[in-house]
Structure 1
């Protein structure tokens, strides 16, 4: 696996409401990367972040 990059900004915007999908934009010092995200994945990501923040 390659070395982890530092995230400097994350933006999330809606693409469509039915089905609920969004665009996640992750900025690093080297690049701006966009990912499409589904509602199911957003819920999983939210749960993972909650777990991370409450450790």
Structure 2
């Protein structure tokens, strides 16, 4: 796991079944993991790439 990743957050819109991802933000990176497998693999993205990704999701179609 990348250093500094703690305080994992799950979306308030996640399903009751727990089918979602969690994110943790550090100064330079953002980590993403499966909420059902907290000890599993973590995807780590540079913070600017994560910001661009989220902005693209919010853009109207």
TM-score, normalised to structure 2, is 0.47
Structure with more of its chain in helix, by fraction: 1
Runs of at least 5 residues in structure 2 that lack an aligned partner in the other structure: 1-18
Larger radius of gyration: 1
State whether structure 2 residue 61 is matched by structure 1 residue 50. no
RMSD: 2.2
After superposing on structure 2, the runs of 4+ consecutive aligned residues of structure 1 that deviate more than 4 Å are none
Change in Cα spacing, 1:9 to 1:47, as seen in structure 2 (3 Å) is: same
Higher strand share: 1
* In structure 2, distance between residues paired with 1:39 and 1:27: 20
Query: Which aligned pairs between 1:21-36 and structure 2 lie closer than 5 A?
Result: 21-27=29-35, 32-36=40-44
Give the TM-score normalised by the residue count of structure 1. Answer: 0.51
What residue ranges of structure 1 are gaps of 5+ in the alignment? Answer: 1-7
Question: Which of 15, 28, 39 is the equivalent residue of 2:47?
Answer: 39
